[in-house]
């Protein structure tokens, strides 16, 4: 549903907008607790079976958007945390969570025959069923009690008349992090979840949300310290087709940021580090190199590879590399990553051992902050231009971009080196590739994985469809004055 402005998107935007306003204008608890009444007017329910249920869901959304503990209180007086303490609170490990009241307890995986069945003479669906759950009498029929959900009938139907029905959240999750409660509502197992947010994108009821740091970020912007934004390259086109990259930068400056840098700069540095590592260690003392800028993939890769986890790149991510560069230059600056990804929130809070990044917000959240402040990006006159990164670094946002950057550097450092590469996108496909590598079938390769379809451009915090976003990013990348990551790396050295 990326790129389609649905009711779920509308409600998310409304909550982020109100929370942004509450932070900028220093709202009281009473004003915050009145937000559900502003979002949902009195009268008949708009989306659910009752207005009160709708308001309970909005209260849960507000709690997530303000980074509150979800708890079980979704009544009128739902703000149970001190606002002053909340302004300095970091995200918890239960970053992505299900709102119980919003979950519709969708049916689990099943197969059934639609009215499109032609009653064909071959009826292969009957022939392939291993438990005789499919019968035929002018029309195929599946006995749901006997069916073992193997999908063989679904695979062989020549007309596509057999329909597969699955929980969207379960189908989207590549790490099997979902179980169900006593009334069949979805529950996320925190220890398995890697915070990719794909379940959140997939749920058509908007029952899954991630915690936000908007409220805490605005407190920092209103404070005495300098605050710098570092923006990931997938941002191109996310705020409107006619909005230029430099207008987005100007919008961030008008939100209160003191400066804006490109995360693609850090991607350039990472690409060179990984190319040198590959040339030095593969295949001499490392059978392959597994790489990605995706923290969700990183968690999966280290788990799936087991004894071969040492083959996963230990280079700093572009986000951390860029933040560290700023830290060296401006040690007292607060650094905010602006990107497409829920998992980056987890990386900044729990995987970045240097605590390089103070806050992480998505394009969706930044867009709500701009609306709350009445900033129209299309009308802004830019005062600053992005010119930190190469074509390679900006291409990291697209599936295959990391491979392309590292490969380009390897070719320049060692033109005679033969390079074998392979990529995968979505965690389910990534796990298949990782298993091949673990089994010794990708020796000598550089392999790349991305949790989201299309790469970072398909992240849970994006606004437009990944296909459109990919084209935008590539056009922006080609506008760089630096052709390769190696050029940026060389210029970065004193």
Neighbours of 306 (CB within 10 A): 9
Quick check: 67 and 91 in contact, CB under 8 A? yes
Report residue 1's pLDDT band, with 50, 70 and 90 as the boundaries. Answer: low
* Residue that wins the pLDDT comparison between 320 and 1: 320
The span from the CA of 140 to the CA of 218, in Å, is 59
Q: How large a percentage of the chain has pLDDT more than 70?
A: 99
Question: Taking residues 366-370, what's their average pLDDT?
Answer: 97
CATH of domain 110-165: 3.30.70.20
Q: Supply the pLDDT for residue 2.
A: 67
**pLDDT for residue 46 is more than 90:** no
Could you give the angle at the alpha carbon of 252 between the alpha carbons of 329 and 223, nearest 5°?
65
Quick check: 370 and 251 in contact, CB under 8 A? yes
CATH 3.30.70.20 domain position(s) in the chain: 110-165
Note the pLDDT tens digit of each residue in 170-204: 999 999 999 999 999 999 999 999 999 999 999 99
**pLDDT for residue 492 is more than 80:** no
Note the pLDDT tens digit of each residue in 267-276: 999 999 999 9
Q: Is the peptide bond before 12 cis (omega within 30 degrees of 0)?
A: no
Note the pLDDT tens digit of each residue in 113-125: 999 999 999 999 9
- The Cα-based distances of 95 to 19, 70, 210, 261 in angstroms read 18, 11, 5, 26
Give backbone dihedrals phi and psi of 325, rounded to 5 degrees, phi first: -60, -45
Phi-psi domain of 141 (left: phi exceeds 0; alpha: psi -120 through 50; beta: other) = beta
The span from the CA of 27 to the CA of 33, in Å, is 10
- Whole-structure pTM value: 0.93
**pLDDT for residue 108 is more than 90:** no
Contacts 24+ apart (CB under 8 A), 25-29: 29/79, 29/83
Mean of the per-residue pLDDT values for the chain?
Answer: 94
Q: Supply the pLDDT for residue 25.
A: 94
């Amino acid at each position: 549903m990326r790129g389609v402005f649905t009711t779920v998107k509308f409600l998310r935007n409304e909550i982020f907008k109100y929370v942004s306003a509450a932070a900028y204008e220093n709202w009281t608890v009473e004003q915050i607790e009145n937000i559900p009444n502003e979002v949902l007017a009195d009268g008949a329910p708009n989306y659910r079976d009752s207005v009160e249920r709708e308001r309970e869901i909005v209260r849960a959304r507000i709690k997530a958007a303000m980074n509150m503990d979800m708890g079980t209180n979704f009544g009128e007086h739902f703000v149970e945390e001190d606002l002053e303490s909340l302004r300095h609170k970091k995200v918890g490990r239960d970053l992505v969570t299900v709102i119980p009241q919003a979950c519709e307890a969708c049916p689990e995986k099943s197969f059934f025959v639609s009215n499109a069945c032609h009653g064909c003479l071959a009826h292969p669906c009957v022939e392939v069923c291993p438990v005789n759950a499919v019968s035929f009498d002018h029309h195929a029929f599946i006995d749901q009690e006997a069916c073992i959900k193997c999908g063989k009938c679904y695979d062989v139907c020549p007309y596509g008349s057999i329909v597969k029905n699955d929980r969207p959240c379960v189908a989207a999750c590549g790490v099997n992090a979902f179980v169900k409660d006593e009334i069949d509502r979805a529950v996320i197992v925190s220890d398995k979840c890697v915070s990719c947010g794909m379940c959140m994108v997939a749920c058509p009821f908007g029952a899954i949300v991630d915690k936000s740091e908007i409220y805490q970020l605005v407190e920092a912007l209103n404070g005495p310290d300098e605050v710098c934004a570092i923006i990931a390259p997938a941002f191109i086109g996310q705020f409107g087709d006619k909005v230029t990259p430099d207008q987005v930068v100007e919008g961030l400056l008008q939100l209160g940021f003191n400066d804006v840098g490109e995360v693609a700069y850090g991607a350039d540095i990472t690409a060179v580090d990984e190319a040198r590592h590959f040339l030095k260690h593969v295949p001499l003392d490392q059978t392959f190199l597994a790489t990605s800028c995706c923290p969700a993939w990183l968690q999966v890769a280290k788990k799936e590879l087991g004894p071969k986890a040492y083959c996963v790149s230990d280079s700093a991510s572009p986000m951390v590399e860029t933040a560290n560069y700023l830290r060296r230059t401006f040690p007292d600056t607060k650094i905010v990553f602006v990107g497409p990804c829920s998992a980056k929130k987890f990386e900044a809070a729990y995987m970045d051992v240097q605590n390089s990044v103070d806050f992480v917000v998505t394009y969706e959240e930044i867009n709500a902050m701009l609306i709350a402040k009445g900033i129209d990006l299309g009308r802004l006159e830019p005062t600053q231009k992005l010119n930190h990164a190469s074509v390679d670094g900006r291409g990291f946002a697209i599936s295959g971009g990391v491979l392309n950057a590292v490969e380009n550097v390897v070719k320049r450092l060692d033109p005679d080196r033969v390079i074998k590469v392979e990529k995968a996108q979505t965690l389910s496909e990534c796990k298949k590739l990782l298993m091949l590598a673990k089994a010794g079938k990708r020796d000598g390769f550089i392999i790349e994985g991305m949790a989201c379809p299309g790469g970072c451009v398909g992240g849970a915090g994006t606004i437009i469809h990944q296909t459109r976003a990919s084209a935008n990013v590539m056009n922006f990348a080609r506008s760089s004055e630096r052709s390769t990551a190696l050029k940026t790396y060389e210029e970065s050295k004193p």
